[in-house]
Amino acid sequence: MTGFGEAHRQTNGVAVVVEVRTINNRYFKLTLKCGEGYSLLEPEIESVVRQQIRRGTVQVSLRVDRVRGSEDYQLNPAVLSNYRRQLQELSDQWQLGESVGLAQLLLLPGVVIENPTSPAEAEEEWPLVRDTLVAAMENLAQMRVEEGRAMAADLRANCLAIASELKQIESRAPLVVTAFRERLTDRLQATLAEFAVTLNPADLIKEVGLFAERSDISEEVVRLRSHLEQFDTIMESPESSGRKLEFLTQEMFRETNTIGSKANDVQIARHVIEIKASIERIREMIQNVE
């Protein structure tokens, strides 16, 4: 489920900014973007994130700014001397008559070395990072709740559409056998009339009975309706239900396929197509539900 949350914290000269983004994914995947030295906190960050998120791609951006002391910056004499020599040679070659100033040299890459954050410093700052991350996750959760409400409404709408089509299938099913009997009777009578042969009612009843048994979809209709009821019950559950809903969706699709193959009726086939379209929409959304 998509979402975004951020938080800021500052204390004792250390400022932390955490941004958390989530995008849809059937599985859990965490990517961490942070400054040098803070990647060792990834296991702790993942542990905090997993407390709320079980499925989806999670992108965590961590920025830590702290007041630097004089010991955190050093000059690189070798790089500085090399810059100065090359620039002086160019100045003499072009006869500029200008000396190279130190202030300009200090702005060049690699002249000033900033000591990276040490593992000890990162561990020391972890409590502040954790509190900021938790706050960002809370903000993310609020956004995801709003999206979840909209998704739940869409899922229920698709379930209602399936129930409506299923009701029409159920009302049509008894007429399929009657229509088959009438078609079979007309065809046999037309064929046998050419040879002056009468139709044995017992044979007709037997054939119609076999067709009725093969095309009976009452069990599939009952199971599909039961799946819809379970689906609604699971959606109301406060616990993580994405896997259960995904399994139910697969079962709903299976029952619908069986109805379509057994019914052998054009009108029922049309309703089956509509049900499959709704199930497919449900399947796409369910992949994003935890």
Distance from C-alpha of 8 to C-alpha of 133, rounded to nearest angstrom: 9
The yes-or-no verdict on residue 40 having pLDDT over 70 is yes
Instruction: Assign residue 27 the CATH number of its domain.
Output: 3.30.230
The answer on 90 and 50 residing in a single domain is no
Which range, of 56-60, 73-77, 144-148, 161-165, averages the lowest pLDDT?
A: 73-77
The answer on 164 and 274 residing in a single domain is yes
pTM: predicted TM-score of the whole model, two decimal places: 0.58
Domain extent for 15:
3-67+120-142
What is the predicted pLDDT for the residue at 184? 56
72 within a domain of the structure (yes/no): no
The answer on 157 and 50 residing in a single domain is no
Angle at 235 between CA 47 and CA 2, to 5 degrees: 50
The answer on 248 and 205 residing in a single domain is yes
225 within a domain of the structure (yes/no): yes
The answer on 195 and 161 residing in a single domain is yes
184 within a domain of the structure (yes/no): yes
168 within a domain of the structure (yes/no): yes
The answer on 46 and 16 residing in a single domain is yes
For the stretch 156-186, pLDDT in tens is: 999 999 999 999 988 888 777 666 555 655 5
The answer on 22 and 127 residing in a single domain is yes
The answer on 197 and 134 residing in a single domain is no
Overall number of domains in the chain: 3
The answer on 151 and 281 residing in a single domain is yes
